[in-house]
Amino acid sequence: MHLMNPLHSHRPATSKSARRRIVKVGRREVITHGIARPMFHDLFHHFMTVTWPRLFATLAAFFIVFDLLFGLLYYLVPGCIANLNPPGFAGDFFFSVETLATVGYGEMHPNSFYGHSVALIEIFVGLMSLALITGLMFARFSRPQARFLFTKNAVVRPVSGKPTLIFRAANERQNVVQDASARLRMLRDEVTEEGYRIRRIVDLPLLRSQHPMFALGWTIMHVIDDASPLSSETAESLSGSKTAFILSVSGTDENTGQTLMARSEYSGADIRWNSTFRDILEEAPDGTLHVDYSKFHDIEPLQDAGGTPPAI
């Protein structure tokens, strides 16, 4: 992706550029211009991504608006509803509520051709609304949600004599995620020989990118050897190039058969050099294994040469 020179980024405000939208890419917020947001052309995506309170508020608003609209149509022709109770617009409104919800208590009913015609349209709208809301709720509840936990920071420490970039992940559900896979990518700003400034995406190979049974924890490692893009990097250089790391984990839930995916983003400042994660696995005197997730994010500096470094 080409990054514009800020000196040439000023442009006259037009009707299209005035359409601003804040898009969150990882931890960075980007303001976009010139793309319209026709919400009514993509209602399914909107309702799938909106928060639950806003979704229920929107559905309730639609319900009230339609009830008021059809109640007004009944009210415009007095006498079209028999046994109207309470009289006036309130009775028409409550009859509209019963009709739109296809309840029909039996006392109030259409009393003319006009009343039957409006009720026919309202019942059709009510049935269609019920079908759409049912499908939407099923889609939201059946959507797979991964509960993968990632450490807040990553560490760089020696492993088998080589500096290694280490991340740690855990499965909060503690069920089996089959054939889990992890991918690590690095994003950083670079300038080519021609002076072309780009945001480059680099794949970082992992020491083990597959996990057959991801149930408790997973230590994900990238060896910083001569072939690694990080071989000449330091904490200062990563911060200066605005380097970011994206760690993604996916797998199949053994219970539901659904594919789960999750990711975590790290900046260069999130990397702790010459440090290690605290060991969360402990063995009791009776041989029972205990995993203490309260230490999951804890990091310790490596001891000086000659000392025994903490376990990973």
pLDDT of residue 204: 95
The C-alpha atoms of residue 224 and residue 86 are separated, in whole angstroms, by 78
Pick the CATH number of 148-301 from 3.90.850.10, 3.30.420.40, 2.60.40.1400, 3.30.465.10: 2.60.40.1400
153 contacts: CB under 8 Å, gap ≥ 6: 266, 270, 271, 272, 297, 299
pLDDT level of residue 15 (50, 70, 90 thresholds): very low
Distances (CA, A) of 29 to 22, 23, 26: 6, 6, 8
Q: Per-residue pLDDT averaged across 10-20, rounded?
A: 51
pTM over 0.75: no
Q: H/E element holding 141?
A: helix 113-142
The C-alpha atoms of residue 307 and residue 294 are separated, in whole angstroms, by 26
Range ranked top by mean pLDDT from 27-31, 86-90, 236-240: 86-90
Distances (CA, A) of 221 to 15, 142, 155, 207: 49, 33, 10, 6
Question: Of 205, 201, 125, 128, which is closest to residue 164 (Cα–Cα)?
Answer: 205
Q: What is the pLDDT of residues 39-98, one digit of tens each?
A: 666 788 888 888 989 999 999 999 999 999 999 999 999 999 999 999 999 999 999 999
Domains 43-142 and 148-301 share a fold: no
Q: Per-residue pLDDT averaged across 127-150, rounded?
A: 90
Q: Per-residue pLDDT averaged across 174-193, rounded?
A: 90
Parallel, antiparallel or unpaired: strands 299-301 and 275-277: antiparallel
- Domain boundary assignment for the chain: 11-40, 43-142, 148-301
pLDDT of residue 38: 64
* CATH class name, domain 43-142: mainly alpha
Q: What is the share, in percent, of the chain residues with pLDDT greater than 90?
A: 57
3-state secondary structure of 123: helix
Q: What is the pLDDT of residues 185-233, one digit of tens each?
A: 999 888 888 888 888 899 999 999 999 999 999 999 999 999 999 988 8
Q: How far is CA 90 from the centre of its chain?
A: 43
What are residue 198's phi and psi, to 5 degrees? -135, 160
User: Which residue's entry shows tokens 């309260």?
Assistant: 294
Among 20-29, 103-112, 142-151, 287-296, the least confident range: 20-29
Total residues found in the chain within this entry: 312
3-state secondary structure of 129: helix
Whether the pLDDT of residue 236 is over 70: the answer is yes
